[in-house]
Structure 1
């Protein structure tokens, strides 16, 4: 059962754990029909996707009211964050995704899991700016390409939480070379020793 699984040290209610298990089942079923996640990761879905997403939650600033997940895809981390936010009572979670089939899955998941998340079926570069306290994006683009989208949707003083792989240091260098300024904390991932979650604050360009 879920209660025996590692979930980033979070103390969660039985209802939240049931929702995460239901998300696991939904993703497995839909991945048989559309490419929500890589089929190679399905056997290890809990660690590779659910835990990998849940570990962002404790890194979010206290009092955050709005969270935007860019390129939400199969719902990671956005749906996991929305599940955790339901128990906490905030923040409001918005998932932005341009693939219509994936949006259909996201809306189904929100409905079946009893979440209040908003799904925007739009491209991140044209969606209305969200002024979110937290912006996340997982496997969407290299950092230098990603940061203009993050800046579009991030509120002044907000925090970006961006999971990155073994090339995170090179991506940081490339972003700085492209004129981006920020404070960064590279938090070790609980699911991949070579990966980091980049916690960016003070994001600015030029």
Structure 2
């Protein structure tokens, strides 16, 4: 059976969407050039591998690129980023493209081998400063950075689960920025059953029903649960 390629957005439509995105989240010419190379690679891989929803292709720049770039304004001084479940590169690769201007570094964690291969190629093609970790976000990996300025995640898991993965990497100065959708209130209600958090919510610059959950501190309500989980992992 012949393999069917997925339709891509017409070039004029992508150009218009790019212009709208960069008005929302301006970047340097150098970062723009890196993002152009990244988008070209993503469209090439998308024909064979489902990296993003095909329905979002006409709005790739606003829906995905600008959605990722907006995190920079909430953590302008962050240089070491840890992105859980990087998938097609949002926000991790986009942030890495921006970090090329300031000497930062982005650690991208992805459990799917094919997507991890794409992420490595994206960093190579863009020459963006980053590292890809082929691992589950719940794994304890020695190559994860010891110091993290900002932790991110987008469309990976519910907030209460993500908090459990992020908590061990939080220190006095670490910030967490999680991109969430219209169910953010329900996720926060569920998360506060297990976690002491003081979230700040920011409406997405890209419109729709997107939100950014900003956290400076993550503490489990029952600290003994971490110890019990560690013992259970040791037994396994």
Structural mapping, 1:158-169, within 5 Å: 158-169=174-185
Q: Which one of 42, 46, 64 corresponds to residue 27 of structure 1?
A: 42
Residues 33-59 of structure 1 show CA distances to partners (whole Å, capped at 9, x for unaligned) of: 111111111121111110111111111
Aligned to 1:40: 55
Structure 1 counterpart SS, 2:101: helix
- Provide structure 2 residue ranges, at least 5 long, that are not aligned to the other structure: 1-14, 222-236
Is structure 2 residue 31 aligned with structure 1 residue 16? yes
- Give unpaired runs (5+ residues) of structure 1: none
Q: Report the Cα offset of residue 12 of structure 1.
A: 2.5
Is 1:204 the counterpart of 2:219? The answer is: yes
Larger Rg: 2
If the length of structure 1 is used for normalisation, what is the TM-score?
0.91
> Structure 1 residue 58 and structure 2 residue 73: aligned?
yes
Looking at structure 2, the residues matched to 38 and 192 of structure 1 have their Cα atoms a distance apart, in angstroms, of 18
Kindly tell me the number of residue pairs found equivalent between the two proteins: 203
Q: Give 1:88's match in structure 2, choosing from 95, 102, 109.
A: 102
Whether contact under 8 Å (1:71, 1:124) holds in the other structure is: yes
Distance 1:11 1:146 in 2: 29
Indicate how the Cα distance of structure 1 residues 7 and 153 shifts in structure 2: closer, same or farther if over 3 A, else same: farther
The 1:120–1:166 alpha-carbon spacing in structure 2 relative to 1, beyond 3 Å, is same
How does the TM-score come out when normalised to structure 2?
A: 0.80
Q: Which moved more, 1:13-22 or 1:93-102?
A: 13-22
More strand by share: 1
| 1:78 maps to 2:83 | no
Displaced runs of 4 or more, over 4 A:
8-11
Deviations 1:13-69 (A, max 9, x none): 21211111111111111111111111111121111110111111111152x331100
- Secondary structure of the residue aligned to 1:172 is helix
State the SS of the aligned residue for 1:88. Answer: coil
